[in-house]
């Protein structure tokens, strides 16, 4: 009730402020016209006195009386004509301010607001954030302000910062996570991507050093290999870039979701996509057929490849790289349900508290996949 009383008072105050110039302008105009009419009446009386005293002739008095009378009539008619039109416009403006503006505001609030939601102080919202990402981030930031050595907190927050393009905060979070928890391929790749985002997509020297460190920890890391080859391409070292992309293509499954992009860069640097040396790679005819496909057909082909990887993991589940690729592939396809399902199946093979399980969870957090209830 207090809230609505305050809203009503604020509406009345705003309306009064908006109406004041209109009311003041109308009153000033009325006062001006009344003053002019009084002056003309005084002039008529003065003419009568001059005529009676013999100061002017009857003809002169008649002419002057007619001129003053004409002006007096003009002033007297103004309120009924011009002023009437102006007051009509004023009344429309007053109606807009008093009726339409509050009505529009109420309609917008009903359509976009949450009148059924009880007000909550910040502490209550932080205690029960629900699915509100902004509140979740604020809660994590408050926790880390009080516990700056909580490496897991920084590890969770870093990819969230990156996904919302808070790249400076993301860099600081990744560096804190690496300092407190130690380097891992996932953390180093995330830091490298953050540094690249800050430089507009350029693989800088700092990013390259981070990627090389990631590759030392995980030699078959496709992200690190791709970005290192991209860095060579950006500085004009086409032959080295081609070697890097071809090496990535050779180590990757033919149905890996990143292969189309890798083949594009192979062609860009003078190579032949899907060469015969690539195990089980597509033939030239396959590549030509894929180029003729519609976007929908290409999407269906990619889905088929991902489903094939899923089937292989069902037969041979002890393949961490396969589970990482599967979860990422479903996320890239924007199929969150299958991504969560793949994550759960991967965690059934590699428990959440194991090193491999932690890699799966870290990837899920990076991709924005909810991991609540999966860490036990």
Domain spans in the chain, listed from the N-terminal domain onward: 2-112, 291-376
Q: Residue 79 carries which DSSP code? A: G
Which among 303, 372, 363 is positioned nearest to 334, based on CA atoms? 303
SS3 236: coil
Who's near 152: CB < 8 A, 6+ residues apart?
Answer: 181
Question: What architecture does CATH give domain 291-376?
Answer: Alpha Horseshoe (1.25)
Neighbours of 190 (CB within 10 A): 29
CB–CB of 175/183 below 8 Å? no
**pLDDT, tens digit, for every residue of 58-76?**
777 676 767 766 666 665 6
Q: Would you write out the chain's pLDDT as a tens digit for each of its 376 residues?
A: 465 566 666 766 766 676 566 555 545 555 555 666 677 677 777 777 777 777 777 777 676 767 766 666 665 655 444 444 445 555 665 555 556 666 666 666 656 655 555 555 544 544 554 556 677 788 888 888 999 999 999 998 898 888 888 899 999 999 999 999 999 999 999 999 999 999 988 999 999 999 999 999 988 889 899 999 999 999 999 999 999 999 999 888 877 778 888 888 999 998 888 643 333 344 444 445 555 555 555 566 667 777 778 888 888 888 888 888 888 888 877 788 888 888 889 888 888 888 788 888 888 887 888 777 766 5
Provide the 10 A C-beta neighbour count for residue 30: 14
Instruction: Yes or no: say if 200 and 190 are a contact pair by the CB < 8 Å rule.
Output: no
Q: How far apart are CA 223 and CA 258, in angstroms?
A: 9
Q: How many CA atoms lie within 13 A of 247 on its CB side?
A: 18
Residue 217 to residues 103, 185, 187, 211, 318, Cα–Cα distance (Å): 63, 6, 11, 10, 20
- pTM comes to 0.45
């Amino acid at each position: 009730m207090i809230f609505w009383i305050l809203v009503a008072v604020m509406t009345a105050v705003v309306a009064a402020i908006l109406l004041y110039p209109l009311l003041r302008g109308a009153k000033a105009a009325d006062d001006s016209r009344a003053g002019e009419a009084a002056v003309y009446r005084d002039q008529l009386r003065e003419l009568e006195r001059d005529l009676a005293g013999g100061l002017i002739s009857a003809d002169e008095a008649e002419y002057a009386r007619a001129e003053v009378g004409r002006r007096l009539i003009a002033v007297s008619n103004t309120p009924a004509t011009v002023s009437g039109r102006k007051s009509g416009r004023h009344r429309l403006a007053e109606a807009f301010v008093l009726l339409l503006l509050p009505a529009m505001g109420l309609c917008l609030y009903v359509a976009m607001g949450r009148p059924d939601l009880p007000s909550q102080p910040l502490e209550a919202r932080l205690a029960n954030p629900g699915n509100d990402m902004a509140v979740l981030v604020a809660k994590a930031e408050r926790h880390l302000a009080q516990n700056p050595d909580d490496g897991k907190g920084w590890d969770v927050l870093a990819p969230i910062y990156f996904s919302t393009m808070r790249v400076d905060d993301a860099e600081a979070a990744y560096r804190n996570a690496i300092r407190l928890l130690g380097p891992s391929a996932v953390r180093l790749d995330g830091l490298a991507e953050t540094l690249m985002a800050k430089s507009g997509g350029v693989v800088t020297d700092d990013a390259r050093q981070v990627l090389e460190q990631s590759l030392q920890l995980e030699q078959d890391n496709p992200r690190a290999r791709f970005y290192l080859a991209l860095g060579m391409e950006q500085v004009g070292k086409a032959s080295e870039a081609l070697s890097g992309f071809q090496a990535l293509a050779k180590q990757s499954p033919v149905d890996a979701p990143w292969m189309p992009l890798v083949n594009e860069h192979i062609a860009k640097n003078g190579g032949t996509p899907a060469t015969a040396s690539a195990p089980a790679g597509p033939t030239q005819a396959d590549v030509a057929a894929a180029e003729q496909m519609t976007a929908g057909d290409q999407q269906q082909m990619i889905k088929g490849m991902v489903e094939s990887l899923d089937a292989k993991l069902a037969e041979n589940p002890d393949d961490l790289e396969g589970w990482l690729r599967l979860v990422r592939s479903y996320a890239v396809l924007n199929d969150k349900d299958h991504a969560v399902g793949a994550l759960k199946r991967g965690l059934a093979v590699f428990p959440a508290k194991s090193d491999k399980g932690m890699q799966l969870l870290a990837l899920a957090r990076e991709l924005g996949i909810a991991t609540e209830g999966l860490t036990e």
